């Protein structure tokens, strides 16, 4: 792992919250126009959230805990935008994947899979 990348954006070497629960990347406050931008293949049958394979969001690319990215980053759901490195949800997801919990939120971290 490149430690510089890990410090600046821990999400790029993580992806745990994108692979935590099929109920997690759900749609909430998005406008229809915003949801329309998400390619259909990544949306679940009920149109209620992202399509998942098991607990993993179908838009997550890469290997959790190593290198990951969101294939629809610019149009990702609100819930994905609000989860921040070091918050409670982040800690739960990282524990599930055997990754160390982040103690602090780096100021320039962006949010997950940035
Ligand atoms: S918010 Fe936390 S769990 Fe999600 S990708 Fe970033 S570091 Fe990982
Ligand atoms: S950030 Fe992207 S890969 Fe992660 S849960 Fe949201 S849509 Fe899926």
Which ligand approaches the C-alpha of residue 70 most closely? 2
In a domain, 85, yes or no: yes
In a domain, 13, yes or no: yes
In a domain, 42, yes or no: yes
Segment 58-81 mean pLDDT: 97
Domain of residue 12 covers: 3-96
- pTM for the whole structure: 0.87
Average pLDDT, the chain: 88
DSSP string, 17-40: GGGS-TTSSB--S--HHHHTTS-G
Q: Number of structural domains, the chain?
A: 1
Atom of ligand 2 at shortest distance to CA of 79?
Answer: 6
In a domain, 53, yes or no: yes
- Decide whether any atom of ligand 1 lies within 6 Å of the 85 Cβ: yes
Which ligand approaches the C-alpha of residue 110 most closely? 1
Task: Categorise residue 47: left if φ over 0, alpha if ψ from -120 to 50, beta otherwise.
Answer: left
* pLDDT tens-place string over residues 11-37: 999 999 999 999 999 999 999 999 999
> What is the model's pLDDT at position 8?
61
In a domain, 77, yes or no: yes
- Decide whether any atom of ligand 2 lies within 6 Å of the 109 Cβ: no
Whether residue 23 contacts residue 45, with contact meaning beta carbons closer than 8 Å, is answered with no
In a domain, 19, yes or no: yes
Atom of ligand 2 at shortest distance to CA of 15?
Answer: 4
Q: How far apart are CA 13 and CA 37, in angstroms?
A: 26
């Amino acid at each position: 792992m490149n430690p510089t990348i890990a410090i600046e954006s821990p999400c790029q070497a993580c992806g745990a919250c994108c692979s935590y629960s099929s109920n997690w990347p759900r749609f909430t406050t998005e406008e229809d126009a915003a949801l329309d931008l998400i390619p259909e293949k990544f949306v679940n049958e009920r149109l209620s959230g992202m399509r998942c394979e098991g607990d993993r969001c179908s838009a997550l690319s890469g290997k959790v805990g190593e290198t990951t990215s969101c294939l629809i980053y610019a149009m990702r759901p609100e819930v994905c935008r609000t989860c921040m490195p070091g918050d409670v949800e982040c800690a739960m997801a990282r524990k599930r994947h055997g990754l160390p919990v982040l103690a602090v939120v780096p100021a320039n971290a962006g949010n997950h899979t940035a």
